[in-house]
Amino acid sequence: MGSIIDGNKIAQDIRNEVRKGAQELKEQQGIIPGLAVVLVGDDPASQVYVGRKAKACAEVGFLSREYQLPAETEEKKLLKIIKKLNKDDLVHGILVQLPLPKHISTETIIAAIDPCKDVDGFHPVNVGGLVTGTPLFVPCTPRGIMELISRSGIELAGKEAVVVGRSNIVGKPMALLLLAQNATVTMCHSKTKDLAAVTGRADVLVAAIGKPHMIKANMVKDGAIVIDVGVNRLENGKLAGDVAFEEVAAKASFITPVPGGVGPMTIAMLMKNTLEAARRSVNS
């Protein structure tokens, strides 16, 4: 049985560090980190996530603002709110909850956010910075995964890493972050031929596909480090990852569970990104 990476504990450690950093910033500079979250529509999963962000802000001592808009909100109204938040000195981080209603262009909205307040790391300036190794902010889930790996004492240099999934939110930035740590990286997706042969070579396997229990034991190398990003709701209401946990855990050296693995890290890293944005504002 591999070592289970406890995302809840590591996320709590990070929130404790952020709370300490926020207190120091308040005492030394008189600045309280501020995060504004904008939610359009009534998607239940998004509402739960926004609630968790507000709770995390309270825990670490941040100013938290929420804008809950009806699903029929026009794009120009949302752009107006973002423009106002861009100019608000009390707001250091702006996050527009995705997905947005279909009549609103996600690309237009993300591009309207000041890159210096783009704590989600999705603005083209930050995406480009990630490619060149100079981002202001790294997307929260991939950054959280790198923290899980680092704080578990895992060395990435020279390892063969395989990322299954090519989304802009997880897969692509994950590959770039692994590459920056001198791993040899392969990206897989729905068109990959003989997926099991590719994943079976991985020293580090990151599964971000969105299909429950897709990664089986016969697809995993003995002693591999397995990071499960998937969060899938089964018919019985339980959460399941993209990895068949029990059978894969028997082969892996390290593995993240679902829930309690990658999930808690996303909001923890959002708090860390917001603190960094507030610190940068001192010199801007």
Amino acid at residue number 200 = G
> 160: which strand partners?
184
How is residue 219 annotated by DSSP?
G
Cα distances (angstroms) measured from residue 123 to each of 96, 103, 154, 261: 11, 20, 30, 26
101: left (phi over 0), alpha (psi -120 to 50) or beta: beta
Q: Which two tokens stand for residue 110?
A: 């993300």
Q: DSSP of 89-127, one letter per residue?
A: TT--EEEE-SSPPTTS-HHHHHHHS-GGG-TTS-SHHHH
Catalytic annotation, pick one of 53, 117, 159, 251: 53
- Those residues with Cβ within 8 angstroms of residue 246's Cβ, 6 or more apart along the chain or in another chain: none
Please indicate whether residue 9 is annotated as part of the active site: no
Distance in Å from the first CA to the final CA of the chain: 50
What's the order of all strands across the beta sheet hosting 254-255?
3-4, 254-255, 225-228, 204-207, 160-164, 184-188
Please indicate whether residue 97 is annotated as part of the active site: yes
How is residue 193 annotated by DSSP?
S
Angle between helix axes 44-60 and 7-29 (nearest 10 degrees) is 50
Catalytic annotation, pick one of 120, 203, 228, 242: 120
Please indicate whether residue 181 is annotated as part of the active site: no
Catalytic annotation, pick one of 6, 97, 159, 203: 97
Catalytic (active-site) positions: 53, 97, 120
